[in-house]
A = this chain, B = another copy of it.
Amino acid sequence: MERLPGFRDFYPEPLPHTDVWSCDARQYIFEKWRTTAKRYGFREYDGPPLEPLDLFTTKSGGEIVGQLYNFKDKGDREVSLRPEMTPTLARMVAAHERNYKKPIKWFAIPQLFRYERQQKGRLREHFQFNADLVGETDPAADAELIALLIDTLRAFGLTAEDFVIRLSSRNAWQDFFKHGGGDTAHEYNFFQIIDKLERTAPEESEKKLAAMGFSRAAINAFIEQGEPTAELKYILNNLAARGLRDFVKIDYQVIRGLAYYTGVVFEAFDRKGEFRAIAGGGRYDNLVKLISGDKVNLPALGFGMGDVVLLELLKARGLLPKFDATTDVFVLVEDEALRPVSLKLVHDLRAAGYAVEYPLTPAKPDKQFKRAQDLKVAYTARMDSDSYVRIRNLKTREEVVAGVSDAANHLD
């Protein structure tokens, strides 16, 4: 029986096959995400992986449905696996924002699902680090969130030579669109064309832009001048004060595809341009209002960082640690008469916090020792009698005999 195409199995390392993923690497990434978010004062939340379908269609329109894992449940409800976390966050914040001091700083590590037409190797799920800051309009909030994004990537050992945040602004594009005589009704269509510029045939974009009264040359000129708006300048200075200026550049080519962004937008890319975006985000000051049916109005911004591109990048830069089994001690049972006291030793060492293995059934001493070596344990321990244990440091080859109740004191 096979798993579904586009879904992943996560195995312990060393990986048995190139077609599966490392659970150790996944947990390593989650742990770094969590640790960095907490240092920035972000608290963890989560919502259901299954939500009412209209939570996702309200803000994106019906066109998104083609990419959803949606269905009718046994209670006749239209439901969908979550394709992104922001609508759930907006729903949760809107429901209980009064109980939290502003700004609300929250993060989550949801698994997200998209039904995309099958392409080789294209995944239909991934995990995403989501960090959001709700209740603050000041660009200081944008700077704080971007600093978190930068430091999250730095936590993996990535440097300013490895990645850059491309910083942009929908406001700047709105001004450009308005001054160019654009019709507000077409504004979002215009943004969509800009978003896809890098991935669309030039003639096609040009035709569409011309229909709205814009030349490709004018667009290019706007992108190339790269003059930061007052807001972006503030953010750059704020990041500079933290020593993070080298990680950011103004790049108006970034505009983000989602409909709900309202202000500053940004994406993180590897400097060599080998991979898709590592992360992306921006301001969505109207979404909480929309999701809450006008009951709650709170400015907000956030970013998402997927596990797949990040993992590819870390591998390519040699920054992924080697994940061995993490057994500390192997208890050898060479005399079956000593098995009961050996089990007690195993239990005591585990209770003291050590990861301990032992042969479940009688086995030859050399086979046991081979297993201990395979597990790369730091120590072997063997009961010499009912009361004494012989502990051997496999690195230094030093051996000590200790009272059994004292065993843990002879380990690092």
Give A residues with C-beta under 8 Å from B. 1-5, 7-12, 14, 16-17, 20, 23-24, 26-27, 38-41, 43-52, 54-55, 58, 66, 69, 71-75, 77, 79, 81, 91-92, 95-96, 98-101, 103, 106, 111, 113, 115, 118, 125, 136, 138, 140-141, 144, 147, 151, 237-238, 241-244, 291-293, 325-327, 339-341, 343-344, 346-347, 350-351, 353-357, 360-361, 371, 374-375
Contacts and interface: CB of A to CB of B under 8 A. Distances in A.
Q: Among A24, A41, A291, A341, find the residue whose CB has the most chain B CB atoms closer than 10 A.
A: A41
Given A16-B96, A243-B344, A360-B144, A47 B10 contact: yes
A244 B326 CA distance: 25
Given A8-B48, A16-B96, A41 B118 contact: no
Contacts of A9: 45-48, 92, 95
A351 B148 CA distance: 11
Contact of A350 (B40, B95, B103, B111): B40
A292 B1 CA distance: 6
Contact of A39 (B1, B41, B77, B350): B350
B1 A74 contact: no
7 contacts: A2-B52, A10-B46, A39-B353, A138-B360, A138-B361, A144-B360, A243-B347
Nearest to A100: B16
A41 B350 CA distance: 10
Main secondary structure on chain A at its contact with chain B? mixed
Given A51-B4, A113-B50, A44 B27 contact: yes
A360 B12 CA distance: 42
B115 A73 contact: yes
A58 B1 contact: yes
Contacts of A147: 347
Q: Considering residues A79, A325, A350, which has the most beta carbons from chain B within 10 angstroms of its beta carbon?
A: A350
Nearest to A103: B360
B101 A374 contact: yes
Contact of A1 (B293, B347, B356): B293
Given A16-B96, A17-B96, A241-B344, A7 B44 contact: no
Contacts of A52: 1-4
A409 B307 CA distance: 35
A45 B11 contact: yes
Given A96-B20, A241-B343, A3 B138 contact: no
Given A20-B96, A138-B360, 17 more contacts: A1-B55, A1-B291, A1-B293, A3-B52, A4-B73, A12-B106, A23-B44, A24-B43, A38-B355, A41-B325, A41-B356, A41-B357, A49-B125, A66-B74, A73-B115, A241-B339, A242-B344
A346 B24 CA distance: 31
B360 A141 contact: yes
A256 to B, nearest CB: 23
Nearest to A8: B48
Kindly name the residue among A58, A147, A361 whose own CB sees the greatest number of chain B CB atoms within 10 A: A361
A408 B247 CA distance: 24
A113 B55 CA distance: 20
A353 B43 CA distance: 16
Contacts of A356: 39-41
A89 B327 CA distance: 22
A138 B359 CA distance: 12
A12 to B, nearest CB: 4
A75 B117 CA distance: 9
